[in-house]
Chain A
Amino acid sequence: MTQLASIGRSAAIGIYETMVRIAACDQGIQKGLAAGELQFQYYPAGGQEAIAATIGALLDEGDRSVTTYRVIHDIVAKGTPVSEIFAEMYGKATGCSKGKGGPMHLSDPKSGLMVTTGIVGAGAPIANGLGLAAQLKGTGKVTVCSFGDGAANIGAVHEALNMAALWKLPVVFVCQNNLYAEYTSFKESTSSSSIADRAQGYGMAGEECDGCDPVSVYEAAGRAIDRARTGHGPTLLECIAPRLQGHAFGSEQTHMDQAQLERDIENAPLVTVRKRLLEEGLASEEQLAVIEKTAAEEVAAAQAFAAKSVDLDSSELYTEIFADDSLLPEGPGSGGVRIEDPKPSNTTKMMFGEAVNNALDTALASDPSVFLLGEDIMDPAGGIVKATYGLSTKHGLDRVRGTPISEQAIVGAAIGASLEGMKPVAEIMVCDFAMVCMDQIANHAAKLRYMSGGRTSVPITIRMMSAGNVGSFGAQHSQSLESWFAHTPGLKVVAPSTAFDAKGLLLSCIQDPDPCISLEAMRCFFVPGDVGEGDYRVPIGKAAVRQSGTDVTLISYSWGMQEIQAAAQTLAGEGVSAEVIDLRTIVPLDLEAVLSSVRKTGRAIVVHPAVEFCGFGAELSSKIHENLFAELKAPVARLGARYTPIPFNQTLENLHFPNAAGVLEKARSMLA
């Protein structure tokens, strides 16, 4: 083993000091758990202190870190005050995430620890985004992404490593191999003997080091950080450091080799590094005792601070879901949006799809923090329906980035870049593919603002097509998943039906402080309309009354509008006056527009392309009933798609989707 002196006396002592502070925190937490004072699932980091402490010593203040729920060593080493860490463990307002994230979701943008994820492997795509922002802005910042050996076997990590290598991102992927993925040993879950070896397959540097030895980590991580900082791309660094207890506090250890565990505890990094400092004469016993006593006092003070801190006020339940607390569909602030629609003086006739392209072009031209990423979006393809055609030629491949077919990596990169203040627009092609990156969308984009107590936010836009009812795409390329997104607090969901709104809503989404899902119906793509010039914003959360009427309110969005407008026309011929409402936005919901119309007509039919059962129509119908029960002349009707996968056969597809004839049938029976 190389002497600790090789990295310098003060660095060696500094690393030991951080290791001692980590261990003091770890023991303090486990004491609190044993006493029943703290109650949560805790994942101890004993044995891995040297990895975090050494890497922490090598990073600059502005560098970033993304890690996973075995986090205490990483967050202490990154520099978050121990008092704020403990306060978060106690769920207090003084915590680094305001008590709303908790021990599995600690983050602290002040120290640069941007995300701790509770989802194995999910940090890697986000780390890429932080790296991408650094690369695009030329800040020289490096991002360290820590994950365990278990995470090395999950898809998100694979996607992220490939993308990082492809784009030469300034990210160091640190696999802290503690030889166990929860209750399963490394050998039981991985056929190869090395994680670092995989680097070659990704076309990036890979290195293995002894995670128990600060010198080994210092040298290997030093090389990796240098590589990242000097534009030579990412490294997959595997640091091996055996876990010294069960998976979590209180977990059984029967899956661990007991004899090996005893040897590992005896040779714990904390013990060996201390011994080496003394043997090499780098520090005296007294000096180390002072470090240890100071750390114990720091933790005791942090615990006292956390215990005494005031609890979160109950009003915090409904804050930090969106930037504006008044936009929720429930709760004290739920109000909706009352902003006038823009009225651009000059308009041009163009198709919905061209309007999308025009919006993206406008945003790219006016705001340097906007960039696009997605599969096939660069020229000459310019997107599978040409939505981005011409944009990479005009704005460059850095800002209109074609990606591998890696939806988790795409959305993760957007999330990470947005944490650095950029406004990424990710394209997921068709909505069905959102399911392969739902974790990034629903667990991360939607929740980071809340889980960080409002200290981080994710101003991203995710564009996707709902390609249903145009024939030939079948069950896996035609769905409308707006209810999935609407069901996840923290996501805004827009579904325009006109070319004017397609541009105006997309521009609003791009500049919105929250993650927005823009559902673009393929059935609307080739429909022309008058589109304003320049940057105009259609308010997110405001419905449009397309036709005034008195007998029945027809409500839809996206391509459902084509069906209810056709039905309204037929009804007019039958002497029935229908009011036609285009919701335009699912979340925030403009309930007031719906209620004021139904108050007038007394009848409502909610129509949408998605499956009717458990669909958005059920929610809206229920809200109308709850608010206007006494004023309704008939129960609210719903018409969505049938409860079947989307059939390829044209006759069956026609039966699956709602149509004007179905709307008419409902309207006529309601008015009979």
Chain B
Amino acid sequence: MAKMTLKIPKGAVSMQEGTIVEWLVADGDKVSVGQHIYDIETEKSTIEIESPFEGTIKILVPAGETLAVGHPVAEIYT
């Protein structure tokens, strides 16, 4: 079992930080590759983030938080 970390992606050239709008999965859920797992809001738009990995998700940061690009938001145990 490997631990994969999800971080705030850089969704646009100017993006420095993003706000987690909503988690569409719950802590401990099984997620699959390509599954829409959370939305992130930037100064320009809302980006739908799909899971890059398959496994069990551990959510590190709740919705509503604004974080810098690169900040860990969840872990997926594959």
Contact = CB atoms under 8 A, between A and B. Distances in A.
B30 interface: no
A33 B9 CA distance: 6
B7 A35 contact: yes
A260 B4 CA distance: 35
Interface in A537-593: none
A30 B49 CA distance: 10
B31 interface: no
Interface in B18-67: 33, 42, 44-45, 47, 49-53
Given A249-B11, A250-B12, A36 B44 contact: no
A32 interface: yes
B6 A36 contact: yes
A39 B5 contact: no
B45 A35 contact: no
A32 B47 contact: no
A250 B47 contact: yes
Given A35-B4, A36-B69, A36-B70, A251 B52 contact: no
A131 B73 CA distance: 50
A317 to B, nearest CB: 22
A252 B45 contact: yes
Contact of A41 (B12, B33, B45): B12
A41 B72 CA distance: 19
B50 A34 contact: yes
A34 to B, nearest CB: 5
Interface in A26-44: 30-37, 39-41
Interface residues of B, number: 26
Contact of B52 (A34, A40, A248, A252): A34
B12 A35 contact: no
Interface string A629-665: 0000000000000000000000000000000000000
B44 to A, nearest CB: 7
B13 interface: yes
Given A31-B33, A36-B10, A250-B10, 9 more contacts: A32-B52, A34-B50, A36-B5, A36-B9, A36-B69, A36-B70, A36-B72, A37-B5, A39-B10
Nearest to B45: A252
A39 B12 contact: no
Contacts of A34: 6, 9, 49-52
Nearest to B73: A36
Closest 3 CB pairs of A and B: A36-B7, A250-B11, A31-B52
A250 B15 CA distance: 10
Given A32-B52, A248-B12, A37 B7 contact: yes
Contact of A35 (B13, B47, B52): B52
B10 A35 contact: no
A37 B12 CA distance: 15
A300 B9 CA distance: 20
Given A35-B6, A36-B7, A251 B70 contact: no
Interface of A: 30-37, 39-41, 248-252
B10 A40 contact: yes
Contacts of B51: 34
Interface of B: 4-13, 15, 33, 42, 44-45, 47, 49-53, 69-73
A249 B42 CA distance: 13
A30 B47 CA distance: 13
Contacts of A41: 10, 12-13
Contacts of B45: 250-252
A105 to B, nearest CB: 15
A44 to B, nearest CB: 13
Nearest to A32: B52
Contacts of B33: 31
A249 B47 CA distance: 9
Contacts of A251: 11-12, 45
Nearest to B7: A36
B66 to A, nearest CB: 15
Contacts of B50: 34
B56 to A, nearest CB: 16
6 contacts: A34-B51, A35-B53, A41-B13, A248-B12, A250-B15, A251-B12
Contacts of B15: 250
Contacts of B52: 30-32, 34-35
Nearest to B52: A31
Given A34-B50, A250-B47, A39 B70 contact: yes
A252 B46 CA distance: 8
B25 to A, nearest CB: 14
Nearest to B42: A250
Contacts of B7: 35-37
A37 B72 CA distance: 10
A37 B9 CA distance: 8
B29 to A, nearest CB: 17
Contacts of A252: 44-45
A40 B15 CA distance: 10
A31 B31 CA distance: 14
Contacts of B72: 36
Contacts of A248: 12
Contact of A39 (B4, B6, B42, B69): B69
A41 B49 CA distance: 16
Contacts of A31: 33, 52-53
A58 to B, nearest CB: 33
B42 to A, nearest CB: 8
Contacts of B47: 250
Contacts of B10: 33, 36, 39-41, 250
